[in-house]
Amino acid sequence: MFKGIFRLIGLAILAVIIFLALSLWQGGKPFRWFGTQSEKAGEVINKKSGEIAKEADKIKNRTEDIRDTTNKVADGLRKTGDKMKDITGSKKEK
Protein backbone atom coordinates (compact mmCIF):
# COMPACT_ATOMS: atom_id res chain seq x y z
CA MET A 1 0.00 0.00 0.00
CA PHE A 2 2.82 2.37 0.83
CA LYS A 3 4.44 1.57 -2.51
CA GLY A 4 1.25 2.60 -4.28
CA ILE A 5 1.03 5.88 -2.37
CA PHE A 6 4.72 6.53 -2.99
CA ARG A 7 4.26 5.91 -6.73
CA LEU A 8 1.24 8.24 -6.91
CA ILE A 9 3.20 10.99 -5.17
CA GLY A 10 6.14 10.37 -7.50
CA LEU A 11 3.88 10.58 -10.57
CA ALA A 12 2.34 13.82 -9.30
CA ILE A 13 5.77 15.37 -8.76
CA LEU A 14 6.90 14.18 -12.20
CA ALA A 15 3.80 15.69 -13.81
CA VAL A 16 4.46 19.04 -12.12
CA ILE A 17 8.08 19.02 -13.29
CA ILE A 18 7.04 18.20 -16.87
CA PHE A 19 4.42 20.96 -16.77
CA LEU A 20 6.94 23.52 -15.55
CA ALA A 21 9.56 22.41 -18.09
CA LEU A 22 7.11 22.68 -20.99
CA SER A 23 5.87 26.04 -19.75
CA LEU A 24 9.35 27.46 -19.53
CA TRP A 25 10.54 25.91 -22.79
CA GLN A 26 7.58 26.43 -25.18
CA GLY A 27 5.07 28.55 -23.28
CA GLY A 28 1.42 27.63 -23.74
CA LYS A 29 1.77 26.13 -27.23
CA PRO A 30 1.66 22.42 -26.17
CA PHE A 31 -1.31 23.07 -23.92
CA ARG A 32 -3.21 24.90 -26.65
CA TRP A 33 -2.47 22.01 -29.03
CA PHE A 34 -3.81 19.54 -26.46
CA GLY A 35 -6.94 21.67 -26.06
CA THR A 36 -7.61 21.83 -29.80
CA GLN A 37 -7.02 18.10 -30.19
CA SER A 38 -9.41 17.32 -27.35
CA GLU A 39 -12.02 19.63 -28.97
CA LYS A 40 -11.64 17.74 -32.26
CA ALA A 41 -11.95 14.45 -30.44
CA GLY A 42 -15.07 15.77 -28.70
CA GLU A 43 -16.64 16.70 -32.04
CA VAL A 44 -15.87 13.26 -33.47
CA ILE A 45 -17.24 11.56 -30.36
CA ASN A 46 -20.39 13.69 -30.52
CA LYS A 47 -20.91 12.88 -34.21
CA LYS A 48 -20.31 9.15 -33.77
CA SER A 49 -22.56 8.95 -30.70
CA GLY A 50 -25.34 10.54 -32.76
CA GLU A 51 -24.88 7.93 -35.49
CA ILE A 52 -24.84 5.12 -32.94
CA ALA A 53 -28.02 6.50 -31.34
CA LYS A 54 -29.78 6.47 -34.73
CA GLU A 55 -28.75 2.85 -35.31
CA ALA A 56 -29.95 1.92 -31.83
CA ASP A 57 -33.32 3.55 -32.57
CA LYS A 58 -33.59 1.54 -35.81
CA ILE A 59 -32.86 -1.69 -33.95
CA LYS A 60 -35.42 -0.84 -31.27
CA ASN A 61 -38.07 -0.09 -33.91
CA ARG A 62 -37.35 -3.39 -35.68
CA THR A 63 -37.66 -5.37 -32.45
CA GLU A 64 -40.91 -3.59 -31.60
CA ASP A 65 -42.27 -4.44 -35.05
CA ILE A 66 -41.27 -8.08 -34.65
CA ARG A 67 -42.79 -8.18 -31.17
CA ASP A 68 -46.04 -6.69 -32.47
CA THR A 69 -46.17 -9.18 -35.33
CA THR A 70 -45.48 -12.07 -32.97
CA ASN A 71 -48.24 -10.90 -30.64
CA LYS A 72 -50.69 -10.62 -33.56
CA VAL A 73 -49.87 -14.16 -34.70
CA ALA A 74 -50.20 -15.47 -31.15
CA ASP A 75 -53.56 -13.71 -30.72
CA GLY A 76 -54.75 -15.18 -34.03
CA LEU A 77 -53.74 -18.65 -32.92
CA ARG A 78 -55.52 -18.20 -29.60
CA LYS A 79 -58.71 -17.08 -31.37
CA THR A 80 -58.74 -20.02 -33.77
CA GLY A 81 -57.80 -22.52 -31.09
CA ASP A 82 -55.11 -24.06 -33.26
CA LYS A 83 -51.80 -25.05 -31.82
CA MET A 84 -48.47 -24.23 -33.35
CA LYS A 85 -47.79 -27.93 -33.88
CA ASP A 86 -50.93 -28.19 -36.01
CA ILE A 87 -49.78 -25.39 -38.27
CA THR A 88 -46.08 -26.16 -38.57
CA GLY A 89 -46.25 -29.92 -38.10
CA SER A 90 -44.44 -31.88 -35.45
CA LYS A 91 -41.10 -33.60 -35.75
CA LYS A 92 -42.75 -37.00 -35.47
CA GLU A 93 -44.81 -36.45 -38.61
CA LYS A 94 -41.73 -35.89 -40.77
Contact criterion met (CB below 8 Å) for 22 and 30: yes
Compute the mean pLDDT over every residue in the chain, rounded to the nearest whole number. 82
SS3 89: coil
Q: In whole angstroms, give the CA distance from residue 67 to residue 58.
A: 14
pLDDT in tens, 33-66: 778 888 888 888 888 888 888 888 888 888 889 9
Whether the model pTM is above 0.75: no
The continuous run of DSSP H or E covering 94 comes out as none
pLDDT at residue 28, as a whole number? 76
Instruction: Domain ranges for the chain, please list them.
Output: 29-76
What is the CB neighbour count within 10 angstroms for residue 30?
Answer: 14
pLDDT at residue 8, as a whole number? 94
